[in-house]
């Protein structure tokens, strides 16, 4: 299975590569259709700026999302505000939908405050270890079911996560206990430098759901309307008590796995360019223009809005004044004598050298 030669009849689509309607269009207001476009533009510009900031040494290692905006934004728009998002580390579009703020950027600058603040938006702190968040998401969904509320948990992960035991254990548990969750596999073709066909001998990732007794559906992940529709159906199914769904969103990451990666070492630029022909922003904008919802003026206004929002977020994040000793606060639920000794030593160094001098060193 090579993801750049997939059969377009093999998955759910609403728009073709040129933005023409070829499937069912979800019943969305004009305002919601524009909101999806606005959030996709914001995600794309945020991504571009973050890569630039990393190259300047102003943020740490970053995982680019360019090319994957449609699956992130489209799927998140299908949720209620009270539904929970549990994600890996590349789904910046989900955060954009819930409200991009300087708090999120501070995480990428090394401040755990930014990770913890996501909880206020019903987004679990992002996870770096591959697939570890999936059992947590299923557990959260099981907890919601036991409490009798109608919360649904949507868990994002990459195709590489399906090679981890955590995925299989969580999927089995979700199927047996019919937990109200959506397992959302972002198949972007590469697990770092490992191609999708090296992750599985199965024809698709979606069909792995068959083994665990619940539906699996494959969708064009570069089509925001298709991902919205598929996610909405999966969320409704979970909310009415019919259990989980595995969604495989077929897409492509244009950039590196992270800013510490060199994708030219394992793939050809020709492959990237073939996928750019299906660019999620271009095809969706074409759809909106055909409906007279976007013209040059509207597109320019939304682009300017995205630039202003991101510029403000960056300024606020860089003005954030961290308290360095906070790094010891949550090393353990209850602090230990060893941790406290380290804290005291650190605070003595701060007092001796001065906070600013210490941080520059």
Q: Active-site residues: which are they? A: 253, 257, 266
> What distance in Å separates the CA atoms of residue 36 and residue 76, rounded to the nearest whole number?
10
Tokens of 55: 């190259």
| C-alpha pair distances (Å), 150 with each of 4, 81, 145 | 38, 12, 7
Residues forming beta bridges with residue 47, ordered by sequence position: none
Alpha helices in 148-217 (DSSP H): 165-177
Cα angle 73, 58, 55; round to 5: 80
In the three-class reduction of DSSP (H, G, I as helix; E, B as strand; rest coil), residue 155 is classed as: strand
> What distance in Å separates the CA atoms of residue 93 and residue 77, rounded to the nearest whole number?
10
**Closest of 97, 144, 143 to residue 123, by C-alpha:** 97
| C-alpha pair distances (Å), 179 with each of 167, 217, 235, 315, 344 | 15, 17, 11, 41, 45
Cα angle 258, 93, 142; round to 5: 100
Tokens of 274: 């073939």
> What distance in Å separates the CA atoms of residue 130 and residue 134, rounded to the nearest whole number?
9
| C-alpha pair distances (Å), 309 with each of 46, 243, 313 | 9, 38, 6
**Closest of 31, 35, 58 to residue 313, by C-alpha:** 58
> What distance in Å separates the CA atoms of residue 143 and residue 49, rounded to the nearest whole number?
38
Q: Which residues contact 294 (CB under 8 A, 6 or more apart)?
A: 34, 37, 285, 288, 302
> What distance in Å separates the CA atoms of residue 343 and residue 235, rounded to the nearest whole number?
45
Q: What is the DSSP string of 285-326?
A: HHHHHHTTS--HHHHHHHHHHHHHHHHHHHHHHHT----GGG
- Per the CB < 8 A criterion, the answer to whether 73 and 39 are in contact is yes
């Amino acid at each position: 299975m090579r993801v750049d030669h997939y059969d377009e009849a093999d998955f759910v689509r609403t728009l073709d590569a040129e933005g023409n309607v070829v499937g069912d269009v979800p019943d969305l207001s004009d305002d919601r259709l524009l909101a999806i476009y606005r959030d996709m533009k914001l995600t794309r510009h945020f991504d571009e700026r973050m890569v630039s900031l990393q190259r300047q040494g102003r943020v740490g290692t970053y995982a680019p999302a360019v090319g994957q905006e449609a699956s992130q934004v489209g799927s998140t728009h299908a949720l209620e505000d009270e539904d929970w998002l549990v994600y890996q580390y590349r789904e910046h579009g989900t955060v954009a939908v819930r409200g991009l703020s300087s708090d999120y950027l501070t995480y990428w600058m090394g401040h755990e405050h930014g990770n913890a603040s996501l909880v206020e938006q019903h987004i679990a702190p992002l996870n770096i270890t591959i697939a570890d968040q999936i059992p947590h998401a299923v557990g959260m969904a099981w907890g919601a079911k036991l409490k009798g509320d109608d919360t649904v948990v949507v868990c994002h992960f990459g195709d590489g996560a399906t090679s981890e035991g955590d995925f299989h254990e969580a999927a089995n548990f979700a199927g047996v206990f019919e937990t109200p969750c959506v397992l959302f596999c972002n198949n972007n073709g590469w697990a770092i430098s490992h191609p999708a066909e090296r992750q599985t001998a199965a024809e698709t990732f979606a069909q792995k759901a068959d083994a665990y007794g619940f539906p699996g559906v494959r969708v064009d992940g570069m089509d925001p309307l298709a991902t919205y529709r598929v996610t909405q159906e999966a969320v409704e199914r979970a909310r009415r008590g019919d259990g989980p769904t595995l969604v495989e969103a077929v897409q492509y990451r244009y950039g590196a796995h992270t800013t510490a990666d060199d994708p030219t070492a394992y793939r050809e630029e020709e492959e990237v360019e073939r996928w750019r022909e299906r660019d999620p922003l271009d095809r969706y904008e074409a759809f909106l223009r055909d409906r007279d919802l976007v013209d040059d003026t509207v597109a320019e206004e939304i682009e300017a809005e995205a630039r202003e929002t991101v510029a403000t977020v960056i300024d606020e994040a860089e003005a954030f004044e961290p308290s360095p000793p906070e790094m010891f606060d949550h090393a353990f639920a209850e602090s230990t004598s060893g941790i406290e000794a380290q804290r005291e030593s650190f605070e003595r160094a701060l007092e001796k050298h001065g906070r600013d001098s210490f941080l520059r060193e």
